[in-house]
Amino acid sequence: MTGPFLEFTVDPQRCIGCKACEAACAECDTHRGTPMIHIDFVEPGVSPQTTPTVCMHCENPTCASVCPADAIKVDEHGIVHSSLKPRCIACNNCELACPFGVPKISIGLGQMQKCDMCFDRTSVGKRPMCATVCPTGALFYGTAEALHARRPQGEAINLWRFGVQEIRTRVRVMVPAGVEILEVDVAEIVDDDAPAAEPVVTPARPREFL
Amino acid sequence: MARLKLPLAEYVRTYGPHVSDTPVHGWAHKPPVERLVKTHCCFCGMQCGIQLQVANNQVVGFEPWEEFPFNEGRLCPKGVKRYLQSHHPDRLTAPLIRTETSFREASWDEALDLVVSRVREIQAARGKDAFAMMSGVSLSNEKSYLVGKFARLALNTANLDYNGRFCMVSAGAGNKKAFGIDRAANSWADLPEAELIFIAGSNVSECFPTLMHYIWQARDRGARIIVVDPRITPIGRTADLHLAVRPGTDSALNQAILREVIVNGWVDEAFVRERCTGWSELVASVAACTPDWAAAITGVPADQIRRAARMWGEARTSFLLHARGVEQHTKGVDNVLSLINLVLATGRIGRKGCGYGTITGQGNGQGGREHGHKCDQLPGNRDIENPVHRAHICKVWGITDDELPHKGKTAVEIFEAIHGGEITGLINICCNPMVSHPDTNYARAALERLPFLCVIDFFMSETARYADVVLPGSLQEEEEGTTTTAEGRVVRIRAAVSPPGEARTDTWILLELARRLGRGDKLSYADNQEIFNELRRASAGGTADYTGITWDRVEREMGVFWPCPTEGHPGTPRLFEDQRSYHADGAFHLYATPYRPSAEVPDAEYPIYMTSGRSVFHYLSGTQTRRIKFLVDMAPGPQCEMHPSSAARLGLVDRQLVTIETRRGALTIPLTVVESIRPDTIFVPYHWPETLAANQLTLRALDPVSKMPEFKVAACRVRAATADEARHARARFAELRIEPDGDTAPGRLGGAG
C-alpha cells in the first residue's frame, strides 16, 4: 500500500441502521446530494439487523472486466473509480455484473457512479465521510493495528467466493476469528424452479403504504 | 380565543413544515468556507461535537470534529443534516400577530408591547399566577437560567414549568431520593470498563446512536449486555439477554431480580450496612417477589429473570443505564428507584467501571433541569420551598423573599388550569405541546380556550398556530452559551451565524420583554457570558455547582464536569468516589417499590398495550427534523409496529392503514408487521402533530411524585381503517412531504387582517 490510504473495514454486527453514513456521503463535494453507500435490512420484518454496503474495491474488479469501453480504472492505491466520463457508454454491464451490487448508472450524468472511498478526503489524509461519522464503528478507516486493538476477537478478511468466482477486495469485512473466506452460493439464493428470485436484502427505505 | 381560523392544510402551505434538503446555495454551488465553528449538535443529550462550515453569515455545511473527546467526529443522521435548518425557508423572520383570519407581520415594538399589555391586564384582573410560562430544555444553560429568572421576577408568576416534565423528570426525582443529586453518576468513559451493561427501557441505538460506540467497546472487551424492552431494538438484537417486558411492569421485574440477588448471597453486605439506609425494609418488601410471581406480571419467563439476576449478581463491574422506557409511567419514580436498588445492593458505584445513569434525551436535558427551569426549583438544583435555598438566590438576584414566588404548577397541571380558566395567559418557548402533551386533543382544547398565548420559536410549531403573538427566536447555532451533556459535562455552544431577517436571539427577546415589564433593573446583561457568570454564583453551594466552570475553561478543556466548586477544581466526571451520597447524612437511600398496575391496562374493550417512543430520524416534537428532507424521506410519518401473530388474528396485513383507538382518541396510520415486538403490544413513534399524533391516544395520568405523564402505557384496540379514515390519513401523509415553492414564504398568509 502506498500513500496515506489506510484500511477500510465494514463491521456489520455494529450497524444500527441509522443511515448517518448515507446522510454524510451525500455531503461529499464530488457527488453532492447523492449518497454512494446504502443500508439494507438483512431480514425485514423479522430482525432489525441492518448492514452497510460500500464499494469493496476489488483487486480484479468485475465491473472493470465486463466494461466494453474500458472506462473503469483502478488507481495505484487500489481504489476503483467511477467510470471515465469520455469513455463510458452507460451500458449497464457493470451494474449487472458486480457481485456486491455497487455501481449505479446515473441516467442524468450518463455514466456509472460509485463509492471512491472519498478520494477527495482520503487523498489528503482525511478519513472518508461515512467512516468518520458512523456512530457505532460499523465503518472503520484506519490502520490494521488500530482495528485489531479495537476488535481483538474478530478478524477482518477480504476473500470472497461467489459460485466459482473468487474475489479479493481492498475493503475488508469483520467476521468471527477462524473464518477465512466468505462463500456465497448463488444457487442457494436463486432457485431456478421458483417463478422469481427472492432478493437477499431489501432496501431499508420506507415503503409506500397501500 | 385562539381557535384556528383556517384549515390545517393552509397553515402547512404557508408556514410549513415544508421539507427541504437543499443547502442554502444549492447542491451545485457551495461557496468557499470562511470559517469552521466548533460547537455541538442540538439534537440530543449526547451533545456531539461538530464543526459548522460558515460562509456569508450562513451555515453551508459541516465537518466532523474529530478532536472532541466524546464523539471523535461520530454523528447520527440528524447531526449530519442539522446544518440545513438555519436557512430553512420556513424560518420565521418577523413578529406575527393574530388577525381575524390568521396572522400579520408586525414590528417588534408592536408585538412586544402587545405581550406586555396582555400580561399586565391578565395579572391585574386575576392575579400574578394567572399568567404562566412553559419552557424547554433544548435551550442553553444561559437561556434556561434566564427563563427561570424572567418568569419569577419579570412575570412574577409561580407557574413556570418545562418540557422535561414530558421527558425524564421521574429519573431526576428518583436520583434525588436515592442519591441527593440529579446527574448520571459516571462519565461514559466508565462504560467500556464494565463487564456487564444493563439497559432498561432505552432504545440506545435509535435515541443515542453515538453512545453505541461505548457499548460496543465494552462488548469487544468481553462485556455482556442485558436489555429490557418490549421490542427487540437494534441494541436489543445484540444483547446476551433480552427481557421482553410487558409495558408498565418494570418494577416487578426489578424486585424479582433483587430478591434473587439477595437469596443467592450476591449482596455487598458491607456496603448496604454501612453506606445505605432502608436495607432491611427493602429486603422485607421483596420477600414474596419470586421469579414466578414476576413472570406472571411481566410476561418475562422466570428462568430469564433468574439468569438476569445471576448475570447482575456475579458481575464484578457493571453499568446500569435507563431512559424514558422506565421513566414515563405513573410509577416512573418507583421504576427508577427499583433499578437504583439493584446498583446499591451490589455496591457497584463510584468506582472505575461501576456506573449508573439515566440517558437524558433533550439537547440540554441535563443542564436545563438544574438552574431554575422547573416549577419547584431554583438555580443549582435548589428547592424553591427551602428557606436557606431561597435566601441564597434572593441575595444573588438582589431581591427580598416576598418578591420570589413559591412552587407552581407542573406542565400538565398548567394545561389543566388553562382548561379550568384559572390560567388565562401563557408564554411558551421551546415547547410544542400539540405534539408532546399527553392526550393532545385535551391540549388543543386548552389552547383554544386560552385567552392569550405568546409563542417564541424559530419555526411555526403546531402550538404556535394557536398563538396570539409569535415572536421569531433563535436556533442553538445563533447564540453563544453552554449546555450540559447527559454525562454531566458542560460544553460550549458557539454562535455560528446571526438570526435571519427580523428574528432575534431568545435572550434579546426575554430581556426586552423584561425591560418593558419594568424589570430591566434585574434582567440586563452585557452578553451571555455575564448570564453564565451569574448562573455560576447562583449555583454556588447547590448540588449542581458550576462555580469553578468558566467559558474559557470549557473551551480549553473541551468540557468540564460539574460539580466544580472552585476554578482550581478539576470537575467531577465520576460521582460518589468517597462512597458518600449528596444527602445530609451521606448515605445512599433505598426505597421499597411495591408493584402497582399502570393507570390503564388492557381489558375486553381495549385489549392491546400501546407504547410510544422515538425514531432515529426525528428529534422530540419534530419541529426541526420534520423540515429536513433526508430525515423525512427515511421516516415520513408514524407507523404502527405489530407482531405477525396479532396481525393475523386481527386479519391485518403489512402496510395496510389501520386505526388505533383508545378512550382518548383514534389514529389512522400504516401497519408495519415485525417479529421484533411483544404480541400483546403495539408501538407508535410520537414525533407528529394533530391527527397523526401518537399522543392523541395517551392519557394524562401522572406519577404522584414526579408528575410525569404515562406516555409508555395505554390500552388500545386496532382495526382496519374505514375508507374515510384512510382518505384522511393519506391526505395528512401527503402534507408531511410538501416541498417549498416561491409562494410559500412565511408571513404571506392573511395580510388583510
SS3 per residue for B370-391:
CCCCCCCEECCCEECCCHHHHH
- Is the pLDDT at B550 greater than 50? The verdict is yes
- Core vs surface per residue B337-365: b (16+ CB within 10 A) or e: bbbbbbbbbbbbbbbebbbbbbbbbbbbb
Nearest Cβ partner for A152 among B21, B220, B634:
B220
Set of chain B residues whose Cβ sits within 8 Å of the Cβ of A47: 232, 237, 675-676
Give residue A193's pLDDT: 55
- Residue of B251, B206, B208, B201 whose CA lies nearest to B228: B201
The alpha carbon of B498 is separated from its chain's Cα centroid by a whole number of angstroms, namely 26
For the question of an ipTM over 0.90, the answer is yes
Retrieve residue B507's grid coordinates.
435572550
More confident position, B114 or A187: B114
Chain A residue nearest residue B218, CA to CA: A150
* A151 contacts B220? CB cut-off 8 A: yes
Helix (H), strand (E) at residue B648: helix B644-650
* A32 contacts B27? CB cut-off 8 A: yes
- Residue of B745, B663, B163 whose CA lies nearest to B414: B163
Chain B residue nearest residue A20, CA to CA: B77
pLDDT digits (tens, 9 = 90+) for B627-650: 999 999 999 999 999 999 999 999
Reported as a pLDDT band with limits 50, 70 and 90, residue B28 is confident
Q: Is the dihedral of CA B57, B59, B60, B63 positive or negative?
A: positive
Residue listed under C-alpha cell 478543556: B557
- Core vs surface per residue B693-704: b (16+ CB within 10 A) or e: bbbbbbbbbbbe
- Is the pLDDT at A199 greater than 70? The verdict is no
Set of chain A residues whose Cβ sits within 8 Å of the Cβ of B71: 135
Taking a C-beta distance cutoff of 8 angstroms, is the pair A21, A128 a contact? no
Residue B581's alpha-carbon distances to A91, B273, B276, B317, in angstroms, are 70, 14, 9, 19
Burial of A155 (0-12, 13-18, 19+ CB in 10 A): middle
Nearest Cβ partner for B655 among A22, A46, A207:
A207
What does the CA dihedral B375, B376, B382, B387 come to, rounded to 10 degrees?
A: 130
- Cβ within 8 Å of residue A66, ≥6 positions away: A93, A94, A96, A97
Q: Is the dihedral of CA B531, B536, B538, B544 positive or negative?
A: positive
Give residue B431's pLDDT: 97
Distance CA B286, CA B252 (A): 9
Set of chain A residues whose Cβ sits within 8 Å of the Cβ of B672: 45
* A47 contacts B21? CB cut-off 8 A: no
Q: What is Dmax (Cα atoms) for chain A?
A: 53
Set of chain B residues whose Cβ sits within 8 Å of the Cβ of A22: 77, 630
Mean pLDDT of B701-712: 98
3-state SS class at B61: strand
Give residue B678's pLDDT: 98
- Is the pLDDT at A206 greater than 50? The verdict is no
Sheet containing B481-484: order of strands: B481-484, B489-493, B560-561
Chain B residue nearest residue A16, CA to CA: B234
Reported as a pLDDT band with limits 50, 70 and 90, residue A163 is confident
Chain B residue nearest residue A47, CA to CA: B676
- Is the pLDDT at B578 greater than 90? The verdict is yes
Distance CA B721, CA B481 (A): 48
Distance CA A148, CA A158 (A): 15
Mean pLDDT of B418-441: 97
Reported as a pLDDT band with limits 50, 70 and 90, residue A190 is low
* B237 contacts A22? CB cut-off 8 A: no
Q: How many residues does chain A have?
A: 210
Chain B residue nearest residue A131, CA to CA: B74
* A20 contacts B77? CB cut-off 8 A: yes
3-state SS class at B406: coil
- Residue of B370, B409, B508 whose CA lies nearest to B131: B409
Q: Within an 8 Å CB–CB cutoff, is residue B630 touching chain A?
A: yes
Please give the single-letter amino acid code of residue A140.
Answer: F
* A20 contacts B209? CB cut-off 8 A: yes
Mutate to test the interface with B, among A13, A14, A18 (most CBs of B within 10 A): A18
The DSSP letter of residue B121 is H
Whether pTM exceeds 0.80:
yes
- Is the pLDDT at B681 greater than 90? The verdict is yes
- A9 to chain B, minimum CA–CA distance in Å? 16
Distance CA B279, CA A12 (A): 45
* B644 contacts A45? CB cut-off 8 A: yes
* A29 contacts B30? CB cut-off 8 A: yes
H helices of B476-628, in order, are 506-516, 528-539, 551-556
Set of chain A residues whose Cβ sits within 8 Å of the Cβ of B227: none
What does the CA dihedral A190, A196, A198, A199 come to, rounded to 10 degrees?
A: 90
DSSP character string of B245-308: PPTT-HHHHHHHHHHHHHHTT-S-HHHHHHHEESHHHHHHHTTT--HHHHHHHH---HHHHHHH
Give residue A48's pLDDT: 94
Q: How many residues does chain B have?
A: 753
Q: How far apart are the first and last CA of chain B?
A: 16
- Is the pLDDT at B205 greater than 60? The verdict is yes
Mean pLDDT of A128-139: 97
Taking a C-beta distance cutoff of 8 angstroms, is the pair A141, A10 a contact? no
pLDDT digits (tens, 9 = 90+) for B249-305: 999 999 999 999 999 999 999 999 999 999 999 999 999 999 999 999 999 999 999
pLDDT digits (tens, 9 = 90+) for B449-501: 999 999 999 999 999 999 999 999 999 999 999 999 999 999 999 999 999 99
3-state SS class at A163: coil
Q: Within an 8 Å CB–CB cutoff, is residue B61 touching chain A?
A: yes
Q: Within an 8 Å CB–CB cutoff, is residue B30 touching chain A?
A: yes
Taking a C-beta distance cutoff of 8 angstroms, is the pair B341, B25 a contact? no
Nearest Cβ partner for A209 among B80, B220, B657:
B657
Nearest Cβ partner for A18 among B30, B616, B657:
B616
- B75 to chain A, minimum CA–CA distance in Å? 5
Distance CA B623, CA B436 (A): 11
- A156 to chain B, minimum CA–CA distance in Å? 14
- A62 to chain B, minimum CA–CA distance in Å? 32
- Is the pLDDT at A210 greater than 70? The verdict is no
Reported as a pLDDT band with limits 50, 70 and 90, residue B1 is low
Average pLDDT, chain B: 96
Distance CA B556, CA B561 (A): 13
Residue listed under C-alpha cell 446583561: B525
- B546 to chain A, minimum CA–CA distance in Å? 30
Mutate to test the interface with A, among B210, B220, B229 (most CBs of A within 10 A): B220
Beta bridge partners of B588: B276
What Rg, from alpha-carbon coordinates, does chain B have? 25
Q: Within an 8 Å CB–CB cutoff, is residue B31 touching chain A?
A: no
